[in-house]
Amino acid sequence: MLDPRETLLTVVDVQERLVPHIHGNEELVRSIRKLILGCGILGVPVVATEQYVKGLGPTVEPIRAALGRSVPMEKMSFSCMQHDAFRALLEPLERRSILLCGIEAHVCVHQTAMDMKDAGYDVQIVGDAVSSRFPLNREIAFKRFQQEGIRLTTVETAVFEMLKLCGTEPFREWLKVLKD
C-alpha cells in the first residue's frame, strides 16, 4: 500500500507542443491535474520534468497551475534518472515509492520507470495519467511495465490508498478535487 510519507509523484513532460498530439489528451491532463492536487493534499512531493523545452514548449497551463510554486525541471535525456539534477533532487527526499505519470508512455515514462526500478525504487505507473501519441505504443508500454514487474494503478486508487480514511479533512478536500 502507498504511504504518503514514503511516496513521490513524478510528472514527465506534459508539454504544450506535445500534448495536442497525445491520444486522449484532455482526459489525460485532467487526470494528471487531479493527481497533483491529491498529492498536494497529502503532502506528497511532486517533481515535474520538461523534455527539450525549446522544441516542445513548457508544461501545459493546467498542470503548471496545479504544481503551484514547483518549477518543472528541464532535461535532455529521455529517462529522468539520466539527468543529474533530477537524481540530485530525488535522492535526499528518501522516498522509495514512486508514482509515475506523463508522456510518452513508451519513451520517457518507460525509460524513467525502468531506470527507477533498476535503482531500487518501487514504481507504480498511474494508468489513467499516462499516454502516447498512438494507442498501440501506450498498450505495448503497459505490457512491458507488467513484464518488468512494475505495478499499475489509477489516480483515484493511488490517492484513496494514501488517504486510508474517510471523514477526515484531507478526504473532504479530495472530494472537492474529484467534483472539479
Q: Which residues are marked as active site?
A: 13, 75, 108
DSSP notation for the chain = ---TTTEEEEEE--BTTTGGGSTTHHHHHHHHHHHHHHHHHHT--EEEEEE-HHHH-SB-HHHHHHHTTPPPEEESSSSGGGSHHHHHHHHHHT--EEEEEEE-IIIIIHHHHHHHHHTT-EEEEEEEEEE-SSHHHHHHHHHHHHHTT-EEE-HHHHHHHHH--SSSHHHHHHHHHHH-
Query: Strands across the sheet with 151-153, in order?
Result: 73-75, 46-51, 7-12, 97-103, 122-131, 151-153
